[in-house]
Amino acid sequence: MQPSISISSLIIAEPVNVLTDLLISVLCLASFLWLRGMTKSKRTHAQNLTLIYLISMGISTAIGGIVGHGLIHYISFAWKLPGWIAGMISVATLERASIVHAKPWLHPKVSTFFSIFNIIELIFFIIASMVFLDFLFVEFHFLYGLLVIIAPFHAYVFFKNRHKSSLWLLASVALSLIAGLIFQMKISPHIWFNHNDLSHVVIGLAILCIYQGTKNFSSS
């Protein structure tokens, strides 16, 4: 565990974890503003959903950094839940954006099924996380979103139209999986830059890939 620091009488646990979580929040906000500005007059539904993803992801990591790391010793473990839930909402929203973006190339029954199941699986994982207070359900939801929805749908779209926007989304999935492996294997370069920090930096790169791909959805 990363050492704590004190600012006057305030003790901040895992301070670099807090900063790298907030780095993701800043990248989410910047990507939100860039995407909203670039697509103001011709935004697609998938781009609107990605804007929601960026805001909810930014909220999730801000809560995770401040409450889940920095101030966790002042409050109960259950206070991690708001950050977890916001994170699951963000992943589910990016799933839906992927489904909507692929819709022109899908059979209507397929897009309808996954659109409905998108809500069901989100509710299931949120309830499971609240009942068991276990981050494992957040991780399962994360993997489901990446490997069952986001990656396959964008791979299919790329197969159909060869547009590079889907390659950027696939790159974001690859980076997110790398971040997950770093977290699970606890690959820590230094006590002041541990596995959490390294995975946060890689997730930040994934956010930039999502922005880069999504800004071109209207021309794909």
**Lookup: tokens for 38:** 């670039």
Q: Give every CB contact of residue 125 below 8 A, 6+ residues apart in sequence.
A: 88, 137, 138, 140, 141
pLDDT for 219: 62
Return the domain boundaries, the chain: 5-219
SS3 69: helix
Please list the rounded mean pLDDT of every run of 10 residues in the chain (220 residues): 89 96 98 88 91 98 95 91 97 98 96 97 98 96 97 97 95 98 96 97 98 85
How many residues in the chain? 220
pLDDT for 113: 98
Q: What CATH fold (topology level) applies to the domain 5-219?
A: Rhopdopsin 7-helix transmembrane proteins (1.20.1070)
What burial letters (b/e) apply to 65-85, b meaning 16+ CB within 10 Å? bbbbbbbeeeeeeeebbebbb
Exposed, middle or buried: residue 29 (CB in 10 Å: 0-12, 13-18, 19+)? Answer: middle
